[in-house]
Amino acid sequence: MILSKISHFGFVLIFGLVLLVLAVLPFFVDLYYQTFLIELFVWVLFAISFDLIFGYTGLLSFGQALFFGLGSYTVTIFVRKFGFNTELSLFLSIVIPILFAWFVGYFSVKLTGIHFAIITIIFAMIGNIIGETWTSFTGGSDGLTFSPPPFRLGLLSVDMMDIKSNYYFVLAIVAISYLFLRRIVQSPLGKVFISIRENEERVQLIGYNVQRYKLVAFIIAGGLSGLAGGLYSLTLKYAGASYLHWSVSGHAVVYTVVGGMGTLIGPALGAGIIMSLEHYLIDILQTTDLVAGIVLVFMILVAPKGLVGYIQSMLKKGETSA
Amino acid sequence: MISNLAVAILNGIVWGLMMALIALGLNMICGLLYIINMAHGALYMLGAVVAWYLIELTGNFWIALIIAPLCVGVIGILMEKGLLRTIEDKPIMTIICTFGVMLAVQELVLIVFGGSPRRIDAPITYCFPLFQLQYPLMRVVIAAISGLVMAGLWFFLRKAKYGLWMRAVVQDREMAVAIGIPVTKVYMWTFALGSALAAFSGVLAATIVSVEFMMGREVLIMAFIIVIVGGMGNLEGSVLAAIMISLIQGVGSLFVPPSIAMVFALAFMILVLLIRPQGLFGE
Amino acid sequence: MPETNEIILELKEVNKSFGGLLAVNKVNLSLNKGELRALIGPNGAGKTTLLNLINGIFPVSGGQIFFKGKEITNLSPHRISHIGIARTLQITSLFSGSTVYENIWIAVQSRKRIYNPLVHASKRKDVKDKTEYMLELIGLKEKAQTVSSELSYGDQRILEIGVALSTEPELLLLDEPTAGLSTEESVILVKKVQGMIAGKTIILVEHDMGVVMGLAERITVLNYGEIIAEGTPQEIKDNEEVRKIYLGT
């Protein structure tokens, strides 16, 4: 009881500290670095949404790129082609992927394991092909650029063209999303997700409609992936068909596994580490996937619970031996 | 019109047989080792790339056709022995691990080989008349070679010592261990064989499509689709599914834009997965 | 609990085949409320399959199953759980990464309907109280924070029964609860469990004849998917055919 109060307090403390550091950072680093950080925040969001379905619920989906791409295109197309304002477009970048996730998920959760993974890839492939060929609408592989007007909510107005404002905007949304997800995984609903991952048969036997819960997880993850895509496009002022390719989902897999699946903080950490590594190495090696691939293989073999899991087990060992 | 149809059908069969080789390799690895090999497309690509280098070196396609798969087979052995052995019983881990290998290998090839697609010249350039068009003999040769390899594989699995061992391990692993079959060696050679098959197909494919570091990505997914539609563990099913899917795609492309044909093919896959996840020909 | 005359479970001409194999053959069974019925038979007789059919894990190939007068044939397992039937499995099936507390919690939670996803799970006092009650009942309160995979095998079997009980069933299907336990451990388990299952209707699949004879009010004997005998423990003991099958057990 006391332990959980301490860990809760500990979380608040650490989260607050991290937020503080990130909030202050723009005064000390240049715009290029700020843009990098914004991208990092977006991928953190994508990674933690993946963690919900994979780390917590045990669903390995390589198709999350579909929702990321959808969110990204929603914002871009609604602003550029339909003249919607940024607020509504960003909101839709959550809603439309949710609708698609409902559809895709409804069918996909009837399957498990590799079949589930494959069907999610197939849906993503369909999205990718449509994105690449419906060039009049999506701009194909060249994609679409656009200039989003300021985001307005009540008295708040965020100029999306100003990198610093953009930075705080994305940071705030991602932070709120993180807290939202954290609350979900700690709620009774989250407990069901975790149980599904641990023993799907037993969960069903004690009365839970497993498919329905998987679908809920899938929809939440889809919505948040869409939000990530929307934020990504708002930042880069661009959406492209490549965002819909299933290999984009691979990034989420790498960050989550490396950081530690089923922890939320793990994928965030994983995204941070891998992206920073790639950022610094790209000048030397001109490569990103090589690092990601090697680290992934290494982690799976040596520390399958990821960095966070490794640290947790070290702490446990310290506890028992003390 | 008839010429186009004939070409499409022939292409469908040729490509189907090549995809069958890849799918067979994947199926063996999946069916025997329960490893979901996400790197399989990369192995196919490596076959083409290694062949390209060998041809630069020796100028001879046929040497490359033999040696490149052997090289990739060795890589397969290294993968199985070095990386996968400890996690072989955990499918989710193997998916992720082989996915990492795929990323790393693709990028490595990008660095060494470069990003620009290159071509291998087919050793046979003769074209024979097919109705109103000319059809490259090389493709027929490819189909024949693929067919021969598949026949060879069939015999291997039914007559050769290792082949029989492989089938025994698939049927009943514990019994196989009990009667003294060196199961770990069988795993190793199966992975090697599966990798070599993918690479072999890659070399053949290099005469038709361009060689580049990304060429394995779509092939990987098609291979998985074929294995699942045909039924995991069902080798004959993979061959049938490969030819069927390629034909549908090829002939379909005559009537609708290829991307739409692909979308329909994918939608069809989804239906198969939902209605008969054990595959059209699986039990 | 004294057996009543109210029929709670009824199986009518239930069949199950897997491909060519007939696993359950024209089984007719009537279970009274409060009864503890043992289901015995040699390996492969179809006992677990029969439970799977009642439970909804397998669809029947023929016949009907009624629970409290309503047909439940082929309903999905989670619906059957809510109708009031719980199940333990022959091979322990728990949430291996979770603690004992969490295992019971999730089972207790299954009976509550509203999940506000923004409420911390620990704030559900109703679930918490019932969980602690169940832990007390099954005698695992001191081990509540132990990860279930680290429990002794016997404790795991008890936890599994506890998890099933936490879903407030009226009918409990126990599939070889003493499987894998030594005779002493079986005795201990039975002692612990007897208090827990009081008042429930039970179908007990068991191989351990000592346990069966000690607990059962009525016994149904299955062989090759068919019921070959049914009666009180004494009647079954005296039954020639049963003796033949068990070769003097």
pLDDT in tens, A165-188: 899 999 999 999 999 999 999 999
Q: A153 by DSSP, 3-state: which?
A: strand
Q: Which of C89, C127, C135, C93 is nearest to C111 (CA)?
A: C127
CB C158 within 8 A of CB C189: yes
The span from the CA of B266 to the CA of B225, in Å, is 9
CB C200 within 8 A of CB C169: yes
- Give residues with Cβ within 8 angstroms of B11, minimum separation 6: B139, B250
Q: How high does pLDDT run on average in chain B?
A: 87
B157 in any annotated domain: yes
Q: Which of B264, B281, B95 is nearest to A116 (CA)?
A: B95
CB B87 within 8 A of CB B93: yes
B58 in any annotated domain: yes
One-letter amino acid at A299 equals: M
Q: Which residues 196-225 in chain A show a CB within 8 A of chain C? A: 198-199, 201-210
Count of domains observed in chain B: 1
Give C-chain residues touching A203 at CB under 8 angstroms.
106
The span from the CA of C73 to the CA of C62, in Å, is 9
The span from the CA of B43 to the CA of B200, in Å, is 9
Give chain B's largest Cα–Cα span.
Answer: 61
Of B95, B259, B262, the CB nearest to A60: B95
pLDDT for the residue numbered A2: 57
Q: Please tell me the CATH code under which domain A28-321 is placed.
A: 1.10.3470
* CB spacing of A210 vs C78 below 8 angstroms: yes
C121 vs A230 pLDDT, higher one: A230
- Give residues with Cβ within 8 angstroms of A302, minimum separation 6: none
As a whole number, mean pLDDT of residues C83-107 equals 93
Pairing mode, strands C70-71 and B133-136: unpaired
* CB spacing of A290 vs B267 below 8 angstroms: no
Residue with tokens 């199985």: B80
Helix or strand holding residue C15 (H, E): strand C7-18
As a whole number, mean pLDDT of residues B107-114 equals 88
CB A222 within 8 A of CB A69: no
Q: Which of B234, B259, B262, B236 is nearest to B248 (CA)?
A: B262
CB C143 within 8 A of CB C135: no
Pairing mode, strands A156-158 and A151-153: antiparallel
**Disruptive mutation site among B33, B38, B80, B92 for chain A (greatest number of A CBs within 10 Å):** B92
- Per-residue tokens: A299: 């982690």
CB C2 within 8 A of CB C34: yes
Give C-chain residues touching A201 at CB under 8 angstroms.
93
Q: Give the orientation angle of helix B91-113 with respect to helix A113-133, to 10 degrees.
A: 40
Give C-chain residues touching A189 at CB under 8 angstroms.
115, 117
CB A308 within 8 A of CB A14: no
Taking the Cβ of residue A175 and every Cβ of chain C, the question of whether any pair is shorter than 8 Å is answered with no
- Per-residue tokens: B7: 């070409």
The span from the CA of A87 to the CA of A160, in Å, is 11
Query: Which range of residues forms the domain containing residue B102?
Result: 17-215
Of C76, C81, C95, the CB nearest to A195: C95
The span from the CA of C96 to the CA of C103, in Å, is 9
Q: Looking at the predicted structure, is the pLDDT value of residue C248 above 60?
A: no
As a whole number, mean pLDDT of residues C107-115 equals 84
The strands making up C201-205's β-sheet, listed across from edge to edge, are C85-88, C171-175, C201-205, C36-40, C218-223, C226-231
The span from the CA of B58 to the CA of B38, in Å, is 31
Q: How high does pLDDT run on average in chain C?
A: 88
- Both ends of chain A: CA-CA distance in Å? 21
Nearest CA distance, B15 vs chain A (angstrom): 20
Measured between alpha carbons, how far is residue A82 from residues A71, A90, A138, A143, B280 in Å? 15, 13, 13, 17, 45
Give chain C's largest Cα–Cα span.
Answer: 63
Nearest CA distance, C168 vs chain A (angstrom): 10
pLDDT for the residue numbered A107: 94
ipTM of the assembly? 0.90
- Both ends of chain C: CA-CA distance in Å? 28
Q: Which residues 94-153 in chain B show a CB within 8 A of chain A? A: 95-97, 99-108, 110-111
* CB spacing of B259 vs A253 below 8 angstroms: no
pLDDT for the residue numbered A277: 84
Give C-chain residues touching A195 at CB under 8 angstroms.
95, 98, 106
Q: Where does residue A237 fall: left (phi above 0), alpha (psi -120 to 50 degrees), or beta otherwise? A: left
Q: B235 by DSSP, 3-state: which?
A: helix
C197-233 pLDDT tens trace: 888 899 999 888 888 888 888 999 998 889 988 999 8
One-letter amino acid at C117 equals: P
Percent of chain C exceeding pLDDT 90 equals 53
Nearest chain B residue (CA) to A124: B266
B234 in any annotated domain: no
The span from the CA of C160 to the CA of C192, in Å, is 13
Q: How confident is the model at residue C3 (pLDDT cuts 50, 70, 90)?
A: low
- Per-residue tokens: A88: 């509504």
pLDDT for the residue numbered B90: 80
Q: What does the DSSP 8-state code read for residue A89?
A: H
* CB spacing of B107 vs A290 below 8 angstroms: yes
* CB spacing of A114 vs B95 below 8 angstroms: yes
Nearest CA distance, A248 vs chain B (angstrom): 12
Nearest chain A residue (CA) to C111: A207
Q: Which of C4, C2, C6, C8 is nearest to C203 (CA)?
A: C8
Pairing mode, strands C70-71 and C62-67: antiparallel
B32-86 pLDDT tens trace: 777 889 999 999 999 999 999 999 998 888 999 999 999 999 999 999 988 888 8
B191 in any annotated domain: yes
Q: What does the DSSP 8-state code read for residue A149?
A: P
Touching chains, C (3+ CB pairs < 8 A): A
Q: Please compute, for residue B145, the number of CA atoms within 13 A of its CA located in the half-sphere on the CB side.
A: 19
Give A-chain residues touching C124 at CB under 8 angstroms.
188
Of A203, A205, A208, the CB nearest to C87: A205
Measured between alpha carbons, how far is residue A80 from residues A73, A85, C126 in Å? 10, 9, 51
Q: B253 by DSSP, 3-state: which?
A: helix
pLDDT for the residue numbered A31: 86
| Domains, chain C | 7-246 (3.40.50.300)
CB C200 within 8 A of CB C171: yes
Q: Looking at the predicted structure, is the pLDDT value of residue B283 above 60?
A: no
Give A-chain residues touching C96 at CB under 8 angstroms.
198-199
C183 vs B25 pLDDT, higher one: B25
Residue with tokens 């081990």: C143
Q: Where are the domains of chain A?
A: 28-321
Least confident stretch, A46-55, B247-256, C1-10, C202-211? C1-10
> Mean pLDDT, consecutive 10-residue segments, chain A of 322 residues?
68 89 88 91 96 94 94 92 89 96 95 88 90 84 85 84 90 95 92 94 94 96 96 92 86 91 91 86 70 87 87 76 54
Q: Looking at the predicted structure, is the pLDDT value of residue B97 above 70?
A: yes
B247 in any annotated domain: no
pLDDT for the residue numbered A210: 95
Taking the Cβ of residue B172 and every Cβ of chain A, the question of whether any pair is shorter than 8 Å is answered with no
Sign of CA dihedral B199, B204, B209, B211: positive
**pTM score of the predicted model:** 0.90
B44 in any annotated domain: yes
B280 in any annotated domain: no
Measured between alpha carbons, how far is residue C246 from residues B92, C42, C43 in Å? 44, 7, 11
Rounded to 5°, the CA angle B29-B32-B37 comes to 25
Q: Please compute, for residue C9, the number of CA atoms within 13 A of its CA located in the half-sphere on the CB side.
A: 29
The strands making up C21-32's β-sheet, listed across from edge to edge, are C21-32, C7-18, C62-67, C70-71
Q: B185 by DSSP, 3-state: which?
A: helix
Q: What does the DSSP 8-state code read for residue C216?
A: -
Give A-chain residues touching B100 at CB under 8 angstroms.
254, 292-297, 300
**Disruptive mutation site among C110, C116, C160, C166 for chain A (greatest number of A CBs within 10 Å):** C110
